[in-house]
Structure 1
Amino acid sequence: MEPRWQQAWDQAGLFIADDRSDKPPFYALHMFPYPSGDIHMGHVEAFSLADAVARYQRLRGFEVMNPIGWDSFGLPAENAAIQRGADPKEWTYRNIETHRQTMFRLGFSWDWSRRLHTSDPEYYKWTQWLFVQLFKAGWAYRKDAQVNWCPKDQTVLANEQVINGLCERCDTPVTKKALTQWFLKITAFAQRLLDDMQQLEPTWPDRVLTLQRNWIGRSEGAEVTFRIDEADEDVVVYTTRPDTLYGATFFVVAPEHPSARRWAELGGFADEFDTFLSDVQRMTDVERQTEEDKRGLFLGVHAVNPVNGERMPVYTADYVLMDYGTGAIMCVPAHDQRDLDFARTYDLPVRVVVDVEGADLDESTMTKAAIGEGPVVNSGPYDGLAWQEAKRRITQDLAAKGLGKPAVNFRIRDWLVSRQRFWGPPIPIIHCEQCGTVPVPDEDLPVILPEAEEVDFSPGGGSPLARHPSFSKTSCPQCGGQAERDTDTLDTFVDSSWYFLRYCSPDRDDVAFDADAVRHWMPVDQYTGGVEHAILHLLYARFFTKALHDLGYLDFTEPFTRLKSQGMVVSGGRKMSKSRGNVIEPRDVVAEFGADTLRATMLFAGPIEEDVDWDDVSTAGMFKYLARLARLVDEHVAARSDDDGAAGEQLRRSTHRTIADVTEDYARFKYNTALAKLMSLTNTTTAAVNQGERGPSVTGALEAILVMLSPIAPHVAEELWHRLGHVDFVVMAPWPTYDVAMLVDKTKRIVVQVNGKLRDAVELPAGISQGEAQAAARASDKVARHLEGVEVVKVVWVPDRLLNFVVRDQGAA
């Protein structure tokens, strides 16, 4: 049954978005997948959510664009080439076809006419073109950067290739190495990325916005100038708390700081520094930030504190990173836990300068830093000031002396986009000795990847493209002289930072995207995807959109109007993994129960943003419900009549109430409760049929159920819709409407109590007065016998809900 309807939808072209439709446009977009093997249960949950959104909006009368594609460049394909000798291109497109077949079998309503793959030259031509535009605007640049380096394989590793400090390929300890890399200047947009979140607050999850704010990490403080006494040179430090300067008792620089070794040599610790640096370079940045034991080395020189003239010992330490601030920090151990841990390890002084209420302020014994607010102490002329005022005054006084100034700092760093890999878009830059760095002209794009059989994938240092016999050889487009192509490829996050624009006009070969089409469809009305993409992908997409806006290509600054993130699918509380033997294959479930059962099970499991534990769900239970609904339709069709019976009125009211409730649930992504209410209406309809009801009220209830069920279980809904006698497609039917008047019951079930004990429940007209309700209740034999021989001292009346007689024995005081 399911394949038959899939073919029918496809042949009818139901899901192809029409750019010229008179209907209002709705752009429904799900984060496109990476083609590694077949789709898994996490994909099924995510795609079921995305499809429910698209189908619901289509039923509401929108012209829906719901495209699909693949983020098809990436590391796994290259690993397959290294480990198994596979062609990355063949490996990738074979997996894409596997994905496509499974997606089609699950009945997702993608617009296949807009399908794209980021590894197609027709796509990455425009990825390269966008890079060139950023380069021309000054937002793409090269500089030396520390990268993960495997000394055995002689290759750069991405962060995800470093497992517990070891190379994932050969288990060799990974070190750091300085290489010239390409960066995109996302820091130029940091403040706007923060400010524009106000537009997103009503429609994006708070968790995602918080993660992005923390990643951007805006802070306000001061830049303070310290003098290295022995070297007679100045070093600038950024601090958020200049009010604690009097509490600084030592000074620390990152091991990679450009002056660190020179100072160590000046202080007589050069050999020790070299050993320390080598040890630190074996650690990842995460390890350096999270290790409990902070390690350091005294460099033999001292920094002069500008507020009090004290000479402080200068250390280098593993927990200070070069990419935050200036790579140098003043250390206030009384009020910073890492500094306090370091001070206790190396027996350095601790000085309290903020009187934090309730904190342990014994400088000789404190083990927890006093973090918080309070007046400053031990701070000379600033004693007694509130810390905020001290911060302002100290900064002001330092600025007057030329030793400091107010400053804003961001945690976010510029985006390193160079990858020393093959399977990615070649960076469209030419290096010429005469002309320098020259972008590839538009007419020469794309810079095509060579065939895999021409490439040496064995680890040997640098990019595989650098070892290709002819790829790098070219001529300079400016002077015509001999030149070399850049042999790095772009980070695959670049591909996914603009794909939503390409969907608007995927067949245009003369522009990256058609301006009119983008204006028609964008911004995306509803974006869905995993919360694991909360930071990088979403932040990069927002950055690209703002950059393209500033370059005049877009008239909006935020790409995604609404965002919804789904949870993970786990088994027994743990992530599904082949090594654990707890993987459930979607194909197996579909083969046994059908696609609709799997899709509905996923959306019925709980709130969409929470994890689904497969051990707690019941595909068999969902299958039984859908089968029961089918039997109900068949039973009604076999014996329906033109007239309603006694149960018809109440069934119509239940139908309208369900339409109202389910409509609200869909708008709030509450598919689990929407399904529960559809099941309840199914039960109500079954009860009416069992009472002999066969008229239009049953038909109306079933039609409403099927239309509202179709975004979740479209095949069953389509099949039963046609069994009811319809010739059109349920997936294109209008969403049912409700009459507000039908939401109000004509009668109410009123509970009757005597002294708080239930004595009866009577069906009375809605809105009945208290007096009429009392009279009706007294007429009940069940109530009357409890009122005989007693005195009613009080009557509690809750309109349309409860009547309680408070009584006492006659003659009782």
Structure 2
Amino acid sequence: MHYDFAAIEKKWQKLWEETGVFHAKNDFSLPKFYALVEFPYPSGQGLHVGHPRSYTALDIVSRKRRLEGYNVLYPMGWDAFGLPTENFAIKNHIHPEIVTKNNVAHFKQQLQSLGLSFDWSREINTTDPLYYRWTQWIFLQLFKKGLAYKKEMRVNWCTSCKCVLANEEVVNGVCERCGSEVVHKVKSQWMLKITDYAQRLIDDLDGLDYIERVKTQQKNWIGRSTGAQVRFDTAAGDPLLIYTTRPDTIFGATYMVIAPEHPILEKWADKIENLDAVRAYQDEAAHKSDFERTEVQKDKTGVEIKGVRAVNPATGKEIPIFLSDYVLVTYGTGAIMAVPAHDERDFAFARTFGLPVVEVVAGGNVEQEAFTDCATGTMVNSGFLDGLTVEEAKEKIIAWLEETGRGEAKVNYKLRDWVFSRQRYWGEPIPLVYCEKCGWVPVPEDQLPLRLPEVASYEPTDNGESPLAAMTDWVNTVCPHCGGPARRETDTMPQWAGSSWYFLRYTDPHNGKALASPEALRYWLPVDWYNGGMEHTTLHLLYSRFWHKALFDLGIVPTSEPYQKRTSHGMILGENGEKMSKSRGNVVNPDEMVKAYGADTLRLYEMFIGDFEKAAPWSDTGIRGSKRFLERVWNLQEKLLPGDGYRPELESDLHKTIKKVTGDIESMKFNTAIAALMTLLNRFAKEGASRGEWRTFLLLLNPFAPHITEELWEVTGLGGRLNAQKWPTYDEAKCVDARVRIAVQVCGKLRGTVEMDADADQQTVQTAALELPRVQANVEGKQVVKVIFIKGKLINIVAK
């Protein structure tokens, strides 16, 4: 019988959507399960075969949960604002709204062709004004809470595009889009105070079921450290504050370095004797990215500030102050005490400029022109700290700094406040107006959404302002407070805005009075299982946790964390083992795979390709193997035997397979679950399958290959619809083999095996083992001095 996958898949996809069988119910009395995957950015390229790996994995879990009796929410939507669409619109002279609409239609058709059990009745789109009304509303709550503010800061400026770029849009110091030079400029930007939540974002990870590498990346990105803030007096009168995690090494600080952008330089301008050299270096540093500046191996450059020196508070000695680009104004205080004996970059800088290197932790090898990163050891050349361990010295120096008023203990974070402005058109308008009398004033909530106006051109302006800035009729408005003249904010929000709360909207997507009803939020939150890429661990995942915590503090959401469980998947690489890209010519189009092999085959292969968390290369041979497996399943309908139960000789195998597949789905070991089903199929192919065994097999295979299993359930007359059945259960006692094969060793070397009852005792197994010819040959003429027995597994006879 021919396996017509195309007709079968089309039939069931149509039926599923028409009947709404995968739509989440609004019955809040049912046990719930909320599964979530990161909604995609609908680019013009469409899906590649890497996308379905994540979607299929959570689809498998969701299908299993429905069969277990849960009310499952497995939604999908579109993260559709952002730079790629705007750039495409500029290049092709098509409105971004039209580009988005076309891309979404293509993506949706691709996803539906894969048979994913998304609840399409809850589809959302971040560019829909009815959606971004609530994005704007959340921003206003953050603004009112003091978590949104505007300040001047250093930004990336493309000299060709004449616009501000996000850090991720700068590659090797040039613009990702046009390849032109990127410099740093100071512009006024909206910021969100994510740093207010830094410690909670760390602490609350402990109660979450996140894979360890996700927790580690978040903690490293936040970068909590403990140390001291120290005041270095200067000849200019204004002290320099530094933060250090190693205050114990202060006696080894032989010079100081400040970032080229440090604001104190303007205060010192009239005292700096080589101001021209300082200005020239500042300009040079402005042409480098932060990544280039902080590379450990790069040549160290800098300028000594003539006319202003600092005083080491521990030694009382004057030390020089340098300007160097390896210090960033955005970390710590933008100034460091340099201890070249125990820091690699400080050491390289000191050698370049001929500065003193003083070892203060014993065990160094300064003589050999190398630094020593001593986290442990004994203090030397350190006055009252001499002879102490590093930890003892840290405590004593901090106490001394606080007693003398020269410093204090301090906790620091690498995390910086979130730059929230974009000088672009295709984003959510920021719902604030500026009044000379009242300052920044929120747009009244009943006037939301503040819609994006139509513009004639999406090109960035010459002065780097958003294209909205030229729309005077839209920009000029009245102040909601005083009624006087005011101007709308023309910056738009970044793409991260809509994706920071989308999971909340899925719970109640058509609510016009709130982002979601309190009842829906209480029922569905937190998300039970969220899968996404590791590349989003320190951006989207961190940002959305911050937004959620802020909403929790405001009493809007009922949980302090949005996601209870977070997993991540490995990439699918090209057949050559490299990341898929058009330039490498190794991109695999899922549409072509579905057309050639079917959606069930593609789903099965992507789950069988290897460890879910690891990258795996695509293989045309592999997907053909998955197709053959499904063809064998299809043909098995011709070998069905009467009987609704399990045959005695297959009962143990059925129960073990149920246990294996059930557990492996929960631990995302999809490849080994499929392997167990393949093993069971091999037995069926030889011995046939009873209708009861067939029923169980189809239920276990269904989450992986839903179309073929639904069709086989129907055509073999098993009754009702498969998706309305219950997940199979197993009896633990029947998962144990009645007979087992036991390894027989002599003096630790394998000499054979014996098949015995699983509960056979040592004497019974030993008697059988001694009858094996190879065992007899190795113990003949010797005395058995010891027997090691592991019940049901091994017997080792030691003979001398």
- Do the structures match in fold with TM over 0.5? yes
Q: Matches of 1:774 and 1:225 in 2, distance apart?
A: 79
Kindly report the root-mean-square deviation, in angstroms, between the aligned alpha carbons of the 2 structures.
2.4
User: Aligned with 1:509: secondary structure?
Assistant: coil
Tell me which residue corresponds to 1:256: 261
Q: 2:48 aligns to what?
A: 40
Equivalent residues in 2 for 1:323-338, closer than 5 Å: 323-338=330-345
Write the distance in 1 (CA, Å) between the matches of 2:256 and 2:106. 57
Describe the SS at the equivalent of 2:100: helix
Instruction: Pick one of 225, 228, 235 that aligns with 1:222.
Output: 228
1:576 maps to what in 2? Answer: 580
Partner residue, 1:724: 716
Equivalents in 2 of 1:314, 1:153: separation in Å? 37
Q: 1:666: which partner in 2?
A: 665
The answer to whether residue 192 in structure 2 is matched with residue 184 in structure 1 is: yes
Corresponding position: 1:392 with 2:395? yes
| 1:22, distance to aligned residue in structure 2 (A) | 4.2
Alpha-carbon distance between aligned partners in 1 of 2:414 and 2:104, rounded to the nearest angstrom:
37
Could you tell which deviates more after superposition, 186-195 or 256-265?
A: 256-265
Q: Distance in 1 between matches of 2:250 and 2:777?
A: 81
CA distance in 1, matches of 2:608, 2:399: 60
2:450 maps to what in 1? 447
Alpha carbons of 1:334 and 1:774: their partners in 2 closer, same or farther (altered >3 Å)? closer
**Cα offset, 1:803, TM superposition:** 5.9
- Equivalent residue, structure 2, for 1:811: none
Q: TM-score, normalised by structure 2?
A: 0.94
Counterpart contact for 1:795–1:805, Cα < 8 Å: yes
CA distance in 1, matches of 2:350, 2:744: 73
Q: Which residue of 2 aligns with 1:687?
A: 686
Distance 1:765 1:214, change over 3 A: closer
1:772, CA displacement in angstroms? 4.4
- Residue ranges of structure 1 left out of the alignment (5+ in a row): 809-813
1:244-643, aligned counterparts within 5 Å? 244-263=249-268, 265-290=270-295, 292-300=298-306, 301-356=308-363, 359-362=364-367, 365-453=368-456, 456-457=459-460, 461-571=464-574, 572-615=576-619, 618-636=622-640, 640-642=641-643
2:737 maps to 745
Distance 1:348 1:265 in 2: 26
| TM superposition shift of 1:328 | 1.1
Query: 1:81 is matched with which residue?
Result: 89
Distance 1:724 1:240, change over 3 A: same
Moved more, 724-733 or 527-536: 724-733
Letter in 1 for 2:224: R
CA contact (8 A) 2:457 2:467 kept: no
User: What TM-score does the superposition give when structure 1 sets the normalisation length?
Assistant: 0.93
Q: How far is 1:702 from its partner? A: 2.3
Q: Deviations over 1:396-448 (max 9, x none)?
A: 22222221111111110111100001110011110001111101110111110
Alpha-carbon deviation of 1:714? 0.9
| Range moving further from structure 2, 743-752 or 654-663 | 743-752
C-alpha contact 1:340 1:369 (8 A) present in aligned 2: no
Q: Is 2:203 the counterpart of 1:204?
A: no
Aligned length in residues? 788
Structure 1 match to 2:25: 18
Cα displacement (A) at 1:455:
5.1
Describe the SS at the equivalent of 1:233: coil
Deviates more, 1:267-276 or 1:338-347: 267-276
Contact 2:82–2:427 (Cα < 8 Å) also in 1: yes
Name whichever of 286-295 and 408-417 sits farther off: 286-295
Give how far 1:732 is off. 3.2
Shift of residue 46, structure 1, vs aligned partner: 1.5
The structural deviation recorded for 1:152 is 3.4
Deviations 1:557-584 (A, max 9, x none): 1110001100111111211111111111
Q: Could you say if the C-alpha distance between residues 738 and 265 of structure 1 is closer, same or farther in structure 2, counting changes exceeding 3 Å?
A: same
Deviation at 1:31, TM superposition (A): 0.8
Task: Tell me by how many angstroms 1:497 deviates.
Answer: 0.9
SS at match of 2:303: strand
| Secondary structure of residue in 1 paired with 2:122 | strand
CA distances 1:63-82 after superposition (whole Å, capped 9, x unpaired): 10001001110100110122
* CA gap 1:221/1:458 in 2 versus in 1, 3 angstroms: closer
Structure 1 residue 708, shift from structure 2 partner: 1.4
Structure 1 pair 186–774 and aligned structure 2 pair: CA distance change class (3 A): closer
Q: CA deviation at 1:249?
A: 0.5
Tell me the alpha carbon deviations over residues 8-52 of structure 1, each in whole angstroms, 9 at most, x when there is no partner.
Answer: 111221110002154300000111110002111111111111211
Residues 703/483 of structure 1: CA separation in 2 closer, same or farther (3 Å cut): same
Q: Report the CA distance shift for 1:227/1:740 in structure 2 as closer, same or farther (over 3 A).
A: same
CA distance 1:313–1:632, change in 2 (3 Å): same
Kept in 2, the 8 Å contact 1:261–1:273? The answer is no
| Residue aligning to 1:243 | 248
* C-alpha distance after superposition, 1:179-199 (max 9, x if no partner): 111101111111111111111
Change (3 A) 1:760 1:375: closer
The 1-side partners of 2:775 and 2:418 are apart by 81
Amino acid at match of 1:732: A
Task: Give the superposition deviation at 1:770.
Answer: 4.3
Q: Residue by residue, what CA displacement relative to the aligned partner does 1:634-678 show, whole Å, maximum 9, x if unpaired?
A: 322xxx23499xx93121110001111221111111001000011
Q: Which moved more, 1:792-801 or 1:476-485?
A: 792-801
Which residue number corresponds to residue 3 of structure 2? none
Q: Please report how far the alpha carbon of residue 778 of structure 1 lies from its aligned counterpart in structure 2 after TM superposition.
A: 7.8
Partner Cα separation in structure 2 for residue 385 and residue 783 of structure 1: 66
2:564 is paired with a residue whose SS is coil
Alpha-carbon distance, 1:709 to partner: 1.3
Matched, 1:143 2:151: yes
Q: Secondary structure at the match of 1:448?
A: coil
Distance 1:750 1:397 in 2: 69
Judge conservation of contact 2:90–2:459 (CA < 8 Å) in 1.
no
Q: 2: distance between equivalents of 1:544 and 1:462?
A: 27
Q: CA contact under 8 A between 2:432 and 2:488: conserved in structure 1?
A: yes
CA distance in 1: counterparts of 2:737 and 2:725, whole angstroms: 28
Cα distance between partner residues in 1 of 2:30 and 2:711: 27
CA distances 1:104-141 after superposition (whole Å, capped 9, x unpaired) = 11100000011000010001111111010011111110
For residues 724-774 of structure 1, the C-alpha deviation after alignment (integer angstroms, 9 at most, x for no partner) is 312322233211101122122233345667898988755443323444456
Matched to 2:686, the amino acid is A
Compared CA separation, residues 699 and 338, structure 1 to 2 (3 A): same
Contact 2:525–2:558 (CA<8 Å) still a contact in 1?
no
Q: Which amino acid aligns with 2:255?
A: F
Instruction: Report if the CA contact (8 A) 2:521-2:558 is conserved.
Output: no
Residue 107 (1) aligns with residue 108 (2):
no
Aligned residue identity for 1:708: L
SS in 2 for 1:488: coil
Secondary structure at the residue paired with 2:35?
A: strand
Asked if 1:736 corresponds to 2:740, the answer is no
The aligned amino acid for 2:649 is Q
Query: Which amino acid counterpart does residue 88 of structure 1 have in structure 2?
Result: P
